[in-house]
Amino acid sequence: MFLPCNGPIDLGHTLGSGQTFRWRREDDAHVGILGENIFRVWESDGGVEFESSPAPPEKTAERLRSYLRLEDDIDSFYQAVADDPRLSVATGAYRGLRLARQDPWECLVTFVISSYSNIKRITKHVAEISEAFGDQVKSHDGVYTFPGPARLAEVPEREFRRMGLGYRARFLTRVAEQVLQLPHGLMPYRQASYIDAKQALLSFFGVGDKVADCVLAFSLDQSRAFPIDVWVRRAVQEWYFAGDPVSDRDIRQWAFEHFGEYASYAQQYLFHRRRVDG
């Protein structure tokens, strides 16, 4: 089934730029799990083509469309930063890199795990958690859904430690318990203000500024979130502040003034650029 896209889309950059960790290349397509269904997606003229199972494409199209943010007018972002020479290099190189709209819970767990780790290891841990605690997707051996907060809340911390999660094990157990206390889960924060949503996330044990901003940018539609990790810190410091040391607080302030509602997109391009090309 075909889905049109507003502007360019590059699945390799979108799904392989360190925002999502459960997609894999398979021939010329990308295969991943959204909710209870497995998707196979590839680029097609003016959009993407996809298959899904066990639910058929007619039933899952909206989920994929939303996930890939096909409605985003990405060209207006490119225009907005056209006068920024550093960012223009990245938008030129990674044209079609989109932010994904992930499930907030899965995104939260993923980035709690990400703390002081690396992409390869994060990918491994997310896969292990799905296999160990998720449900098998119907008629797809070895393919698992992502376990919900109720399931992870009942996993003893020592099991997470056995998986090699280290000190993050405690974070995971606590975060699951805390999310379980929310009457309507994390979804309502899509409608909340950036400030309110961030404050809520920061109240979770194991969630600081960086992880909170990742969840806000990659799952909660908070376009002014600007996650600052080691790579982005270096990029901003060297490319925009002449190498002078800058506090995270100042970077956040600067990012909002400089990029406004495009901050989340700008961050992902800067991150990818810095991580891939140094």
221 binds DNA (CB under 7 A): no
227 binds DNA (CB under 7 A): yes
β partners of residue 40: 31, 51
Closest CB to DNA among 60 and 223?
Answer: 223
Taking a C-beta distance cutoff of 8 angstroms, is the pair 261, 255 a contact? Answer: no
Closest CB to DNA among 41 and 251?
Answer: 251
Contacts of 109 (CB under 8 A, 6+ apart): 126, 129, 146, 152, 172, 175, 176
Q: Cβ 45 to DNA, closest distance in Å?
A: 28
**Single residue of 45, 83, 118, 183 touching DNA by CB under 7 A:** 118
Subset of residues 2 to 31 that bind DNA, contact rule: CB under 7 A = 17-19
Taking a C-beta distance cutoff of 8 angstroms, is the pair 40, 27 a contact? Answer: no
**Single residue of 25, 66, 75, 119 touching DNA by CB under 7 A:** 119
Q: Cβ 226 to DNA, closest distance in Å?
A: 8
**Single residue of 7, 166, 185, 188 touching DNA by CB under 7 A:** 166
Residues that contact DNA, how many (by CB under 7 A): 42
Q: Cβ 122 to DNA, closest distance in Å?
A: 7
121 binds DNA (CB under 7 A): yes
241 binds DNA (CB under 7 A): no
225 binds DNA (CB under 7 A): no
40 binds DNA (CB under 7 A): no
Segment interacting with DNA (CB under 7 A) among 46-54, 119-127, 185-193, 252-260: 119-127
Which tokens sit at 269? 């391009």
120 binds DNA (CB under 7 A): yes
Q: What is the 3-state secondary structure (H, E, C) of the chain?
A: CEEECCCCCCHHHHHCCCCCCCCEEECCEEEEEECCEEEEEEEECCEEEEEEECCCHHHHHHHHHHHCCCCCCHHHHHHHCCCCHHHHHHHHHCCCCCCCCCCHHHHHHHHHHCCCCCHHHHHHHHHHHHHHHCCECCCCCCCECCCCHHHHHCCCHHHHHHCCCCCHHHHHHHHHHHHHHCCCCCHHHHCCCHHHHHHHHHCCCCCCHHHHHHHHHHHCCCCCCCCCCHHHHHHHHHHHCCCCCCCHHHHHHHHHHHHHHHHHHHHHHHHHHHHHHC
Segment interacting with DNA (CB under 7 A) among 3-11, 50-58, 132-140, 211-219: 211-219
Q: Cβ 147 to DNA, closest distance in Å?
A: 21
Taking a C-beta distance cutoff of 8 angstroms, is the pair 38, 50 a contact? Answer: no
Segment interacting with DNA (CB under 7 A) among 2-10, 53-61, 166-174, 191-199: 166-174
178 binds DNA (CB under 7 A): no
**Single residue of 15, 145, 267, 273 touching DNA by CB under 7 A:** 267
Binding site for DNA (CB under 7 A): 17-19, 111, 114-122, 161, 164-167, 170-171, 204-212, 214, 227-232, 247, 249, 267-268, 271, 275
